[in-house]
Structures are given as structure tokens and as C-alpha cells.
Amino acid sequence: MVTWLVRAGGRSSIDDAKRASRLDDEGFNVAISWALRKGWLHVEKADNATLLVARKEPEEGSDERLLATLDAGPQAFKDLSPPLLVALTDLRKRPHVVLQQRNVKRRYILTEAGLQAVKAAEKAPRAVSQLTPELLRSGTWRGLKLRTYDIQAPVEALWPGKKQAYKRFLDDLKWKLVALGFKEMEGPIVEFAFFNCDALFMPQDHPAREIHDIYYVKHPAYGDLSSYSTQVRHVQATHEDGWHTGSTGWGYPFSTETTRRLILRSQGTALSARMLVNKDLEIPGKYYSLSRCYRPDVVDRTHLTEFNQVEGIVVGDGLTFRDLLGVLKMFATEISGADKVRFRPDYFPFTEPSVELSAYTTEAGWLEFGGAGMFRQEVTLPLGIEVPVLAWGLGVDRLFMMKAGISDIRELFTQDLTWLRRQRLT
């Protein structure tokens, strides 16, 4: 009707429009009502006559599309799109019926194979998933069959409570070291420069002691080393002229004020130095620590400003560099799951000879784990130790990265629930 009205010039009397539509009174009134609601036309009065005025060409809505679809033939509810189902609901509410609903009945007949399956099921013993006290008391269980389960069938994912994956790795690492006969070393996070640097024969003007490599405590800036006065004197003499170590030392005036400076522990080796002056030290003996260390590094995929180190020393007569390499290889293969191990010569002020350990897996490639070596006499003799000491300090964060196939160290402390949930318990 609206299309006819547009073609007729856009204006028409109601009588002319009704004759052109060929609708009865009820159908014409419904059509006018919906055309007004959709904004296709409006009503004007002129010369005591009521005119219908077209506003625009009709735009096809969901109800028009539904009617066009049904003109092509009956449609099943399941084949209608969501917009057409909404239009269906609207059309069924209209007082003038434009749709007819018809229910179709279908008849299904079992095949011969289906009939045989039904007969077999009637003769099959009753299957149960569990035995109840009633079944046991009555003896009915003898005629029953336990229901089988497909253990490969997919099940709903469950996320039980468990330790954070990296925390669990550190705990497991402790147990492995204890099982190998190592005892744990402990020490403070706020450390003296003496144990962190001086006792390790690191000169007081060494670049690694600059403000960009160590966090210095502002208050209090200094601590009391009076309980270690003997060791401090021996270390001072070693730095200045070599003392009784056979070395010439570093040849500078040692500052007892600098050695009392308080810092955040920058390396786990500070715990090894403390252990060598501990009254509970056993010779021979094996000691380890899992220590939190702090350095003002630039944060990237392999560096954080705080990190964990697994540190260890082995003290005893007859120890050789070959023994040290064996310990390092054990760490890389047994704890991190490395496929290959590589040793390279390295330099540290407190060990000679020194070595750098790198390990390889297909997923992570080559990763540097840390350094190791045999403590120099400039370290051991001033602290009262006269036997060889093997020492190693490895980045345990990187050990776990290799084992877990992680390429970014920041993922160790992530709050990503999806990653945390999917970590295996073993």
C-alpha cells in the first residue's frame, strides 16, 4: 500500500488508498497502524478531507523478511534466524492473523538391528556404578555387572589448590640438595660489605661495588663488625700486601669504614663467606643456600632487580676442580633437565680456577646459569680455612625457566591464572 502511495505522488485520500489495497476494513486498519508506527507515512487534514502522506520508501524489516520467507513455503522453527524468530513473536501478537502454525508428526520405526539391540539389552544384567550396603546384604550384587568407564573420555577441568609452580620447584630443589648430603646456610638480606665483597677478595674500588651494581642502605649506613675483628684484620692485610697467602694483595689502603657499610645482599656467595667463619662449620662438609639477592639491573626477559641464587660450597681435603665440574653437571642435568652442558673459563676475584656454566635445551636454547670455581687462598686463609673449598653460585630462576620452558623471567612471578592453573604438580 505504501509503495502504491509513493508511486501515486505520495498523497492520497483514505478511500482511494483502501480501494487500491483491496483489504477489508480490519486488514486495512492494521496496515495503516503499522505503517504509522514504522514511520512510513503520516496523516494530514486538508479541505475537510483526511489524507495519507508517504514519508519515504518502505524499508524492509524483520517482519517483512519473515513474510517473504514464508511466501516461499512453510518453514521449521529451528531453521529461522534469531531476528526472524523475534519477528515471528511480534506477528503472532497482531490482532489480524497473518500466520498459521502447523504441527508435523513424524513416525520412527526401529530397524532389525535396533530390535535385536533392544532384546539384548533386556537380557543384559543390570549395571551399577557402585556397590551399596543394601546390594551386599541382599546378595543382589551377584547378578549385577559393574559399569565400565572410559578413562580417556574428556572431563571437566578442575583447578585444585596447589603451590605456586616456582615455589614448589625451590622446595623440591632443597630436598634434592639435602638428599645429597648438603646442609643449609643462612644469613641476613641486609649484609656487610665485608662478607659480600671484602672477605671474597674483591677490592674496594672494584666496578661491581658501584652504586649501579649494589643497593646501599641509607639508614643505618654502617654496622658493627667487632665480633669478627680477627677476620677483618686478616682480610685487611690480605688486601693491602697479601698477608700469609703467598699473594701480593691489591696494594691499596684498606678502609675499615667501607667494610662496615650495609648493603642489600648482591650475591649468594656472601653466605658462603659467613659459613666459613661459622663455629658450626664441619670439615669435611657440604653446604647450600637458596638466597634472595638484589641488584639494580635493567629489567628484561633474563634480568630482574631481585632474583634467587642457589649457592654452595664443599669443604674438605683432596678436592679438585674435576669434582666441581661434576657437581655443576649434576645441577644442569638432574635439576633443570638440560640436554647439553658447556663450561667456559671465567674470572671472579674470589676463585681460581673459575668457570662459567651454560646449559641447553631444545625449547630454551643456551642459557647461562652462573659461575663457579675453587676459593683462592686469599679468601680461605684469612677466614681460618686451610683446606680446598669448591664454590658455585647459579641463577636458580634460570634453572626453573629451562625446566618449565619459559623464555621470560618475569613469568616466574606472574598473576596469570591460566598459566598458574596449567602448571603440572610433578
Q: Which candidate, 132, 325, 17, 303, places its Cα nearest to that of 7? A: 17
Most confident option among 109-118, 230-239, 326-335, 412-421 = 230-239
- Give the pLDDT score at 299: 84
pLDDT score of 164 more than 70 = yes
- Give the pLDDT score at 290: 92
**Are 2-93 and 165-188+266-421 the same fold in CATH?**
no
- Give the pLDDT score at 153: 84
pLDDT score of 287 more than 60 = yes
Mean per-residue pLDDT, 332-338: 76
- Give the pLDDT score at 53: 67
Each residue's pLDDT tens digit, 122-151:
777 677 888 888 888 888 888 787 778 788
More confident site: 28 or 173 = 173
SS3 402: helix
- Give the pLDDT score at 423: 78
More confident site: 1 or 65 = 65
Each residue's pLDDT tens digit, 387-417:
999 999 888 887 788 777 788 888 888 788 8
Are 180 and 286 within 8 A, CB to CB?
yes
pLDDT score of 118 more than 90 = no
- Give the pLDDT score at 190: 97
pLDDT score of 246 more than 60 = yes
- Give the pLDDT score at 57: 65
Q: Where are the beta strands (DSSP E) in 227-364?
A: 262-264, 285-294, 306-315, 340-345, 351-361
Mean per-residue pLDDT, 76-83: 70
More confident site: 406 or 316 = 316
Residues 6 or more apart whose Cβ sits within 8 Å of residue 87? 61, 62, 63, 65, 66
Cis peptide before 83 (omega within 30 of 0): no
Q: How confident is the model at residue 379 (pLDDT cuts 50, 70, 90)?
A: very high
CATH architecture of 2-93: Orthogonal Bundle (1.10)
More confident site: 334 or 229 = 229
pLDDT score of 289 more than 70 = yes
- Give the pLDDT score at 158: 81
SS3 113: helix
Mean per-residue pLDDT, 273-284: 95
- Give the pLDDT score at 145: 78
Mean per-residue pLDDT, 324-344: 84
- Give the pLDDT score at 230: 96
Mean per-residue pLDDT, 344-368: 86
pLDDT score of 229 more than 90 = yes
Largest CA distance in the chain: 127
Mean confidence (pLDDT) of the chain:
83
Cell of 252: 691499596
Mean per-residue pLDDT, 61-90: 68
More confident site: 20 or 97 = 20
CATH architecture of 165-188+266-421: 2-Layer Sandwich (3.30)
Q: What share of the chain is helix, strand, coil (3-state, %, to 5)?
A: 40, 20, 40
- Give the pLDDT score at 395: 80
Q: How confident is the model at residue 88 (pLDDT cuts 50, 70, 90)?
A: low
Q: How far apart are the first and last CA of the chain?
A: 75
Spell out the domain ranges in the chain: 2-93, 110-151, 165-188+266-421
- Give the pLDDT score at 399: 76
Least confident of 144-153, 319-328, 344-353: 144-153
Least confident of 219-223, 275-279, 413-417: 413-417
Give the percent of the chain with pLDDT over 70.
78
> Within 13 Å and on the Cβ side, how many CA atoms surround 417?
3
Each residue's pLDDT tens digit, 167-190:
888 998 898 889 888 999 999 999
Strand-pair category, 285-294 with 183-184:
parallel
Q: Where are the beta strands (DSSP E) in 213-364?
A: 262-264, 285-294, 306-315, 340-345, 351-361
